[in-house]
Amino acid sequence: MKGKMKAVVKYTEATGFDYVDVDIPAIGANDVLIKVKGTTICGSDIHAYHSAPGILDMMSLPVVLGHETCGDVVEVGSCVTSVKVGDVISPEPHIYCGHCYYCQNDAALNCLDLGLFGLDRNGAFAEYASLPENVCWKHPAGTSYELGAIHEPLGVAMHGVMSGEINGKSVAIFGCGPIGLFAVGAAQTFGATRVFALEVAPKRLEMARKLFPDITVINPKEQDPVKIITEATGGLGADVAIELSGSAAALKQTFKVIRREGRVSLVGVVSGAIEIEVHKDIVLKEARVNGVFGREIWRSWWQVRQMLDTGKFDPLPIITHRFPLKDYAEAIELAASGEAGKVLLYPEA
Ligand SMILES: [Zn+2]
Ligand SMILES: [Zn+2]
């Protein structure tokens, strides 16, 4: 498809983006062109906006931002067989090579030649986006574009929750931003018996309490989470702790709230070095610790579908704000403020 489109682009390492006219992306033989219907703002988009340390190394400028998206397929390359015009798809933004050690060992998320849709290649803060066929996730008929757009962050939460046993377990979830709230829903759907959710921002505390009336919501500024969780678990501690807040203090506390042989899964982006009492918190406890980056391809996506199919958890209320693409700056500011859930950008055309 030839022509111009509106897009949010980062041109230089200076703070900010630009809202500009660019060419509609050309597609290759193995690519798909989508008409973008909505794209939610990720923490990485906020970091990219502010040119935060670390993020620029992952980017190739200039680039169209945005990766949590959903749209209609409007054109397919000559070799594409599994996707057709009219399908509603979301991209797995980790564009994997399919040929390296990890891709061939059921771990494409750790691909050695990973391309990042919306960071090192053009993404979906735009009217159209092109992506390879092999990263298209086809939604079943009736899936709304907004629900489609949040499959990617739902998958991150899912990978964190499902990177160990969850059925019948007690779980402490650190951080009630959108991914934290998604993780609460995923943990409950897949059988966690007791969920504790920790958060300090008033708006997010309120959302956690409202969306999940049967969990224990803790504000660590006012209450001692270690005491509450230890007492509530018969003096043992939680089976699982998942860190999604990106706070160093929270990360340290995950090791204090788990029981012996408990699991700590680290998802949130905590920059810099952190001191942990390794012997006391990990060795003597025989704790298991794992990092979580992105989604398991495609296991996490299937788990998200299975979760949604149960009807037990509706993640849509976690999208709290919607802005036209041109108001991206205001939207990013709001998303960064802790005063919102997921914030969605939509192209007006
Ligand atoms: Zn994301
Ligand atoms: Zn690979």
Q: From CA 297, how far away is CA 209, in angstroms rounded?
A: 32
- In terms of domains, do 66 and 37 share one? yes
309 inside domain: no
CATH number at residue 65: 3.90.180.10
CB 264 within 8 A of CB 254: yes
- In terms of domains, do 18 and 111 share one? yes
How many CA atoms, within 13 angstroms, populate the side-chain half-sphere of residue 99? Answer: 2
- The rounded Å distance from CA 156 to ligand 1 centre is 8
| Mean local confidence (pLDDT), 184-206 | 98
Give the range of the structural domain holding residue 142, as residue numbers without chain letter: 4-150+315-346
- The rounded Å distance from CA 30 to ligand 2 centre is 17
Q: Which ligand has an atom closest to residue 101 CA?
A: 2
What b-and-e string marks burial along 179-205, b requiring 16 or more CB atoms within 10 Å of the CB? bbbbbbbbbbbbebebbbbbbbbeebb
| Mean local confidence (pLDDT), 233-247 | 97
- In terms of domains, do 136 and 17 share one? yes
- In terms of domains, do 176 and 143 share one? no
pLDDT recorded at residue 39: 98
pLDDT exceeds cutoff 80 at 321: yes
In terms of Cα–Cα distance, which of 196, 277, 200 is closest to 237? 196
Q: From CA 23, how far away is CA 4, in angstroms rounded?
A: 4
Q: Which ligand has an atom closest to residue 154 CA?
A: 1
- In terms of domains, do 320 and 269 share one? no
pTM (global) more than 0.85 = yes
pLDDT recorded at residue 220: 98
- The rounded Å distance from CA 253 to ligand 1 centre is 25
| Mean local confidence (pLDDT), 100-126 | 97
The angle at the Cα of 34, spanning 78 to 341, to the nearest 5 degrees, equals 150
239 inside domain: yes
Residue with tokens 């403020």: 337
- In terms of domains, do 140 and 231 share one? no
What b-and-e string marks burial along 77-111, b requiring 16 or more CB atoms within 10 Å of the CB? beebeebeeebbbbbbbbbbeeebebbeeeebbbb
pLDDT recorded at residue 225: 98
342 inside domain: yes
Q: How far is CA 266 from the centre of its chain?
A: 13
Q: Report whether the peptide linkage leading into residue 62 is cis, meaning its omega lies within 30 degrees of zero.
A: yes
Q: Which ligand has an atom closest to residue 109 CA?
A: 2
- In terms of domains, do 165 and 79 share one? no
**What percent of the chain is modeled with pLDDT above 90?**
97
308 inside domain: no
307 inside domain: no
240 inside domain: yes
- In terms of domains, do 184 and 130 share one? no
Number of domains in the chain: 2
- The rounded Å distance from CA 83 to ligand 2 centre is 22
| Mean local confidence (pLDDT), 154-170 | 98
Residue 171 burial (CB count, 10 A) = 26
Q: From CA 304, how far away is CA 204, in angstroms rounded?
A: 22
C-alpha separations of 273 from 2, 55, 278, 333, 338 in Å: 48, 17, 14, 27, 24
- In terms of domains, do 264 and 280 share one? yes
Q: Token digits for 141?
A: 């008929």
Average pLDDT, the chain: 97
CATH number at residue 195: 3.40.50.720
- In terms of domains, do 48 and 97 share one? yes
302 inside domain: no
In terms of Cα–Cα distance, which of 221, 288, 222 is closest to 249? 221
Q: Report whether the peptide linkage leading into residue 137 is cis, meaning its omega lies within 30 degrees of zero.
A: no
pLDDT exceeds cutoff 70 at 56: yes
How many CA atoms, within 13 angstroms, populate the side-chain half-sphere of residue 285? Answer: 25
- The rounded Å distance from CA 79 to ligand 2 centre is 21
pLDDT recorded at residue 53: 84
- In terms of domains, do 263 and 139 share one? no
Q: Which long-range contacts (CB under 8 A, 24 or more apart) does 54-57 make?
A: 54/271, 55/119, 56/13
| pLDDT-based confidence at residue 349 (cuts at 50, 70, 90) | low
- In terms of domains, do 243 and 261 share one? yes
- The rounded Å distance from CA 70 to ligand 2 centre is 24
Facing residues of 132 across strands? 31
User: What pLDDT digit, counting tens, does each position of 249-305 carry?
Assistant: 999 999 999 999 999 999 998 888 999 999 999 999 999 999 999 999 999 999 999
297 inside domain: no
